[in-house]
């Protein structure tokens, strides 16, 4: 049934019921997941909250609606919530070990201190979500987070390959073996982050805050640092072949033993504090 046909039927119903039509200006009808107002407004709805899941009757509820529900400290290990609508949900200290949250919408959700060990968040939406201390062994490949909070998150062996963590708070993350290759961390806060020995090849760190970050021994070949702030960062023996430092600040950074072959320096502030434009042979660092 077309949206136009549904609209015609709705109008007919309102006309056929004069008593109900007295308040027609505020009338709303849900048809096929769409909310129709008497004034003609149409918007998508998510449907009722899944009571069966909340009652603990089942953990297998892909694509269910759990908007703004409080699941704090709930035992949800192994739950199947793939594609679930968890906007604004509270998952503080919830046990989500091994849970399937692939493709879930967790915008504005709070999963601080939750157990997400071996959980899948692949391709999930995490705008403004909080995951304080919560990501050991989690699969976050391809997730999209804008303005999220991962401060001090435990990310031991977490998979963030190709993830988008835009303008997010990643301060003091604990990375132990995390896979972040090809991720986009543009505009994120990473000051004091421990990224020692990680494979960060191809990572986008444009406009990122990396003040005093420890990148010792990391592989950052082909990484993008345009307009990034690396003041005081540790880049000791770091692989930076082909990295782009256009308009970046490297002042006071420790770059001893690093490989800057084919790296791009344009309007870059060097460790000495000197601003440099044009190609720069590595020895000049």
The helix/strand/coil state of 231 is: coil
- The dihedral built from the CA positions of residue 41, 42, 46 and 48, taken in this order, carries a sign that is positive
Quick check: 111 pLDDT over 90? Answer: yes
Over range 126-141, report the average pLDDT: 89
Burial track 211-238 (b if 16+ CB lie within 10 A, e otherwise): bbbbbbbbbbbbbbbbbbbbbbbbbbbb
What pTM, to 2 d.p., does this model score?
Answer: 0.75
**Residue 41 burial by Cβ neighbours in a 10 Å radius (0-12, 13-18, 19+):** exposed
Tokens 């601003």 sit at which residue?
A: 275
Per residue in 202-260, pLDDT (tens digit) is 999 999 999 999 999 999 999 999 999 999 999 999 999 999 999 999 999 999 999 99
pLDDT for res 55: 84
Q: How confident is the model at residue 133 (pLDDT cuts 50, 70, 90)?
A: confident
DSSP state of 149: B
For the chain, the structural domain boundaries read: 3-44
pLDDT for res 33: 34
Over range 149-177, report the average pLDDT: 87
Take residue 57 and report the two structure tokens written for it: 């009757």
Quick check: 42 pLDDT over 90? Answer: no
List the end-to-end C-alpha distance of the chain, in Å, as a whole number. Answer: 68
Which is nearest to 29 in space by CA: 39, 285, 252, 260? 39
User: Higher confidence at residue 67 or residue 280?
Assistant: 67
How many angstroms separate the CA atoms of 92 and 129, rounded?
Answer: 12
């Amino acid at each position: 049934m077309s949206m136009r046909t549904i609209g015609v039927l709705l109008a007919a119903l309102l006309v056929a019921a004069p008593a109900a039509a007295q308040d027609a200006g505020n009338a709303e009808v849900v048809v096929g997941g769409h909310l129709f107002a008497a004034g003609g407004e149409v918007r998508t709805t998510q449907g009722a909250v899944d009571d069966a899941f909340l009652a603990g009757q089942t953990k297998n509820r892909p694509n269910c609606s759990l908007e703004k529900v409080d699941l704090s400290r709930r035992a949800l290990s192994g739950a199947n919530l793939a594609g679930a609508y968890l906007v604004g949900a509270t998952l503080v200290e919830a046990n989500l070990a091994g849970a399937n949250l692939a493709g879930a919408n967790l915008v504005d959700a709070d999963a601080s201190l939750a157990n997400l060990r071996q959980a899948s968040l692949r391709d999930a939406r995490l705008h403004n979500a909080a995951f304080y201390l919560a990501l050991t062994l989690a699969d976050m490949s391809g997730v999209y987070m804008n303005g999220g909070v991962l401060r001090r998150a435990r990310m031991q062996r977490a998979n963030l390959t190709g993830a988008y963590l835009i303008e997010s708070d990643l301060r003091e993350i604990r990375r132990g073996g995390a896979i972040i290759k090809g991720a986009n961390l543009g505009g994120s806060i990473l000051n004091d982050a421990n990224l020692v020995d990680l494979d960060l090849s191809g990572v986008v760190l444009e406009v990122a805050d990396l003040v005093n970050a420890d990148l010792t021994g990391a592989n950052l070949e082909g990484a993008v640092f345009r307009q990034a702030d690396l003041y005081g960062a540790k880049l000791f023996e770091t692989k930076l072949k082909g990295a782009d430092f256009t308009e970046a600040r490297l002042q006071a950074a420790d770059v001893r033993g690093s490989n800057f072959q084919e790296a791009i320096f344009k309007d870059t502030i060097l460790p000495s504090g000197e601003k440099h434009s044009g190609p720069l042979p590595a020895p000049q660092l």
